[in-house]
């Protein structure tokens, strides 16, 4: 499954472009721009599984660094600071990874 099976290619392009500058990534704005906030829980889980490159059922810090590339190959890598902020926002139980729920 490709990201464009769930989200609009145009929305992805705009969102990734909006955060192309280093240290500019804002996960709340990004997820809103790509249209995830309007998607069903099932569609959000589909996106999660696309981003879970190692199919572990979790998105770990190393996978988060490349989250923008998970949406489009033209995406940049997140900085360590951006990666840690995204992990902190999604890691509800403090285990260092983000689960699908």
CA distance 13 to 71: 9
> Does residue 56 form part of some domain?
yes
Give the pTM.
0.91
Domain count, the chain: 1
Q: What is the pLDDT of residue 4?
A: 96
> Does residue 99 form part of some domain?
no
CATH number at residue 47: 1.10.238.10
Residue 97 marked in a binding site: yes
Residue 91 marked in a binding site: yes
φ, ψ dihedrals at 98, nearest 5°? -110, 125
Residue 93 marked in a binding site: yes
Q: What is the pLDDT of residue 101?
A: 80
> Does residue 100 form part of some domain?
no
Q: What residues are paired with 60 via a beta bridge?
A: 97
> Does residue 101 form part of some domain?
no
> Does residue 97 form part of some domain?
no
> Does residue 78 form part of some domain?
yes
Select from 74, 63, 66, 83 the least CA-distant residue to 14.
Answer: 74
Find the distance separating the first CA and the last CA of the chain, reported in whole Å: 20
Residue 54 marked in a binding site: yes
Per-residue pLDDT of the chain (101 residues; tens, 9 = 90+): 999 999 999 999 999 999 999 999 999 999 999 999 999 999 999 999 999 999 999 999 999 999 999 999 999 999 999 999 999 999 999 999 999 88
Do the beta carbons of residue 51 and residue 6 sit within 8 Å? no
Residue 101 marked in a binding site: no
Residue 11 marked in a binding site: no
Q: What is the pLDDT of residue 100?
A: 87
């Amino acid at each position: 499954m490709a990201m464009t099976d769930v989200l609009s290619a145009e929305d992805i392009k705009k969102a990734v472009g909006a955060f192309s500058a280093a240290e500019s990534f804002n996960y709340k704005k990004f997820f809103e721009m790509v249209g995830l906030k309007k998607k069903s829980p099932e569609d959000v889980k589909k996106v999660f599984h696309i981003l879970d490159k190692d199919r572990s059922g979790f998105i770990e810090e190393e996978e988060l660094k490349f989250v923008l590339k998970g949406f489009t190959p033209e995406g940049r890598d997140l900085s360590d600071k951006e990666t840690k902020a995204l992990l902190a926002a999604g890691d509800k139980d403090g285990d260092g990874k983000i689960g699908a729920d």
